[in-house]
């Protein structure tokens, strides 16, 4: 059968390499989902827009101070 002829060490290793399993390379798959045409902000712009973990904690603290129950439908 044709599948028996295709079931070779070379083809198996080629398949592992194509999907990034051996040698390990996560970029093989991740690059399929990235859009190289998408406009990337400059590094100075992107660093200004990043919210740090500390910022998130401050935001959550402020929210809790204003809204007693954030899960209450009236709090929307």
Question: Which among 4, 21, 25, 5 has a CA at the least distance from the CA of 13?
Answer: 21
pLDDT given for residue 10 in this prediction: 94
| pLDDT single digits (tens) 42-63 | 665 555 567 888 888 888 888 8
Question: For 68, which DSSP code?
Answer: S
Question: For 71, which DSSP code?
Answer: T
pLDDT given for residue 39 in this prediction: 61
Domains of the chain: which residue ranges?
1-33
What token pair was written down for 48? 């200004």
| pLDDT single digits (tens) 11-49 | 999 999 999 899 888 888 888 887 766 666 666 555 556
How far apart, in whole angstroms, are the C-alpha atoms of residue 74 and residue 76? Answer: 5
φ/ψ of 54, rounded to 5, equals -65, -40
List of residues 6+ apart from 51 with CB closer than 8 A: 59
């Amino acid at each position: 059968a044709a599948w028996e002829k295709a079931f070779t060490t070379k083809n198996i290793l080629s398949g592992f390499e194509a999907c990034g399993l051996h040698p390990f390379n996560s970029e093989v798959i991740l690059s399929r989902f990235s859009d190289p045409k998408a406009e990337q902000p400059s590094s100075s712009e992107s660093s200004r827009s990043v919210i740090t973990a500390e910022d998130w904690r401050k935001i959550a603290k402020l929210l809790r101070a204003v809204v007693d129950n954030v899960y209450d439908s009236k709090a929307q």
